[in-house]
Structure 1
């Protein structure tokens, strides 16, 4: 089953599943039974040769799901080992029913060992979405043992140790190969460090999806490929270059001209009708050789700068800009215009020193830049990326793109998360390429929110296409240009 596009907090799911169960006239224990069955079926699908299972259970409802999994495995003739961390006498509610059913059907609870038994698969049902503080004691030791093992792991709802709301690792977390999540997908599964732990995410609606959606609203959603329909409209036969926007890119101090060249080439490859760059005079000649279609000019030529800003329909500033007085003056000049703009890289450093609010721009910080903009640490940003991106948007206006694993886009009303992209993108110049793409979309009259969302999506899809063709390691920012064009022209 494909993943839903909406994401929810743990509290939203807790309340929503209860309302959904009531709307469908079923007990919450029925949902627990369905969840356990869904996990067992997925394990069988993923590992068809497996017949030996270790289920690690805690005392909450996540552990209850695990006991249902174990019961199904017993009934199917599997060799089942169950480890329970905590006091078995303290299990309550629906989890206690699932535990009792497992025991009554011949199940045995085995003592937790320092290393895992000889099994084909581990089911992680140790800690669920209610975890708030750091993992401690026996649970910590067991998680470390699971991670030391080479046995594949399927996590129930969320890998133990992850925060369901933020994706932060609460001291230690299970490295799962697969995660089966239920009813409403938890927002912490898809951004930040969570991407290292969840493996492949699967979804089971447990038969109450429609009732849940009706009872629970979300302002976090994934970037859908349906967005690409808007950029893939055929051009009129009588179209000319002026119909597709005039973009200006500003940056490239002496010695950092490559940053602006990447942004400019990405801009023209992303559909801008005309693209001009304003850069240090040392870079102009190299730019003309590398890409003569970009009209490179000297940023010290004030008459040319004024002319370009009057001519432009969108502007991107920051790649290689520098942070001296000249860079500050150039940024101020751009900020004084009514043009839709993209502010990135060195321009964000200046913005952190001289903060202001502008509802007609897109800022595109990575976590380090975000930390400077909010006067905090990278660790704080990564501990709650959703909070960070909302705070950035509120403080600086417009739209904020918080880059990283599971890039976030916040427009003040909705937060979007990108499920695409890969570690090959962790290389110099990738952010400059994104600046060029988004500037091209702004020049083509897309709104700030549309340009940011579509730009992030096609940037990541292009990088995924390059990784599929040639691998992640050694990927260059310029390697994705050819894929950009293909995506811009594909339906």
Structure 2
């Protein structure tokens, strides 16, 4: 799978440039798309020979028309339901319709009954940017109410290719065959829930054209990032693995900084200190004696304990009361790498953006919304825009959590395409903060630490979910798996 993700505008630019260099025009690409779709049908459902193609009135519908013509010639029994006005089709789509008519494929209306054992969604492509309605909405509903396997052409209809948002309703595909390059909306927000298995067919687009077009994001390559961790020599000592200091745990929230501390230790930090309410010290020491734990009640207690920190984590269980406020203010005066999460982000939203030289923010959509002074719905509707806006606002590395987590930094934006719904449970964010901090303390830069940390976190969750299922997954269940994934690289030892 290619690691580059594109917007619909970028895909169109690549396509138009390729067409300009091909004497036959865009119909050649449509022929290639139809051939790839037919090959996939044969491979995936070899015994199913009755196709029902839902064809829209654009070039995506043209792909469907041409697939129908090719399949009919191969002995399939094919029917097309025409959605929308097909009297003014684009040139390539019109040629495709003529091919289907010459193959004597029946053309039906939406309400006409027909027999099928595979449905092909060729209604909308990458151009959809408004809520669907009318016959389009009825067609999507008809597809989704069926129990027949669904193959989506390029993009499940009703899904925004740029944002991953469902525009009123979207096809629930079993398989999506995407063309030319991967669209970012298929990897974030609602995209993964609607694509089913996502495959890519680059057609005959020259690789230099794809490489020349700037991608809007790249997929996190965890295995490559693992190789950036320096090998440990035989005489390695804990002082070389960094000192992570975690600040949090207001009344009743001692577990949050503890989770971060355990994760930092399991991910190789040499030393970990927790600064929390005095009342929590005995419990934390009893639970994890490898941690150093200090009780702090006032801002002045904090400063001397931060001097030896390699990385500071502020936010897990910090609360938004005076205790948390004054501790955060002290943290923001430090000339140290700082990771802010949870309540530290909520407090940050109430003040002027700090100008720390080294800072990582790890908001979920609600926290991102408060930082951007908008609604969480707006963040989710435009996740890529949101994470890039935060990166620009704070001039730092930002990890926007969620389905298809996004990491934005000076070098660009990365997207995480691993993880599962079982991660929607208490303490997962606290664990992630500790993982990232440990990697940062061991020498990775902020962007690499955030990307690798989120990858390790999600891979560990997938490993546990594969063994026991996603429901009931606890943050502490991930600790052993995170360590296992971290140590899978031979580069960690010499």
| Higher mean displacement: 256-265 or 21-30 | 21-30
Query: Aligned pair 1:203/2:196, yes or no?
Result: no
CA distance in 1, matches of 2:407, 2:470: 24
- Which of 41, 60, 71 is equivalent to 2:58? 60
- How many residues are treated as equivalent by the alignment? 488
Q: Which residue of 2 aligns with 1:269?
A: 266
CA RMSD of aligned residues (A): 1.6
Query: Against the structure 1 CA distance between its residues 313 and 233, is the aligned structure 2 distance closer, same or farther, given a 3 Å change threshold?
Result: closer
Contact 1:17 1:212 in 2 (8 A): no
Superposed displacement of residue 412, structure 1: 3.8
Q: Which moved more, 1:337-346 or 1:218-227?
A: 218-227
For residue 169 of structure 2, the aligned residue among 172, 175, 189 is: 172
Aligned to 1:147: 144
| 1:259/1:432 contact within 8 Å kept | yes
Higher mean displacement: 143-152 or 312-321: 143-152
C-alpha change, 1:382 and 1:303, in structure 2 (3 Å) is closer
Encode CA deviations 1:15-56: one digit per residue, 9 max, x unaligned: 211212444555211111101111121122222221111100
- Trace 1:223-372 onto structure 2 (pairs within 5 A): 223-230=220-227, 233-300=230-297, 305-358=302-355, 359-372=357-370
The answer to whether residue 24 in structure 2 is matched with residue 32 in structure 1 is no
C-alpha deviations, 1:336-381, integer Å up to 9, x for none?
1111111000101101111314342111111111111111111111
User: TM-score normalised to the size of structure 1?
Assistant: 0.96
Partners of 2:325 and 2:343 in 1: CA distance: 10
**For residue 97 of structure 1, what is the aligned residue in structure 2?**
95
Deviations 1:363-422 (CA, angstroms, capped at 9, x unpaired): 111111111111111111111100111111111221111000000000044111000000
Rounded Cα–Cα distance in structure 2 between residues aligned with 1:230 and 1:329? 39
Shift of 1:177: 1.2
Range with bigger deviation, 371-380 or 13-22: 13-22
Aligned to 2:181: 184
- 1:138, 1:188 → 2: CA distance? 24
The answer to whether the 8 A contact 1:232-1:489 is kept is no
Map of 1:489 onto structure 2: 487
Q: Are the aligned partners of 1:390 and 1:412 in contact in 2 as well (CA < 8 Å)?
A: no
Q: Which runs of 5+ in 1 are unaligned?
A: none
What is the distance in 1 between the residues matched to 2:231 and 2:332?
34
Give the TM-score taking structure 2 as reference length.
Answer: 0.96
Counterpart contact for 2:318–2:344, Cα < 8 Å: yes
> Residues 321 and 214 (structure 1 numbering): CA distance in 2 closer, same or farther, change over 3 Å?
closer
SS of equivalent residue, structure 2 residue 482: helix
Q: Match for residue 398 of structure 1?
A: 396
* Cα distance, 1:435 vs structure 2: 0.5
Verify the 8 A CA contact 1:135 1:172 in the aligned structure 2.
yes
Q: CA deviation at 1:118?
A: 3.6
**Residue ranges of structure 2 left out of the alignment (5+ in a row):** 490-494
Q: How does 1:70-149 map to 2 (within 5 A)?
A: 70-113=68-111, 117-149=114-146
Deviation, 1:193, is 1.4
Provide the rounded CA distance (Å) in 2 between the counterparts of 1:304 and 1:409: 34
Alpha-carbon shift at residue 87 of structure 1 (Å):
2.2
Partner Cα separation in structure 1 for residue 413 and residue 401 of structure 2? 13
**Aligned residues of 1:355 and 1:396 also touching (Cα < 8 A):** no
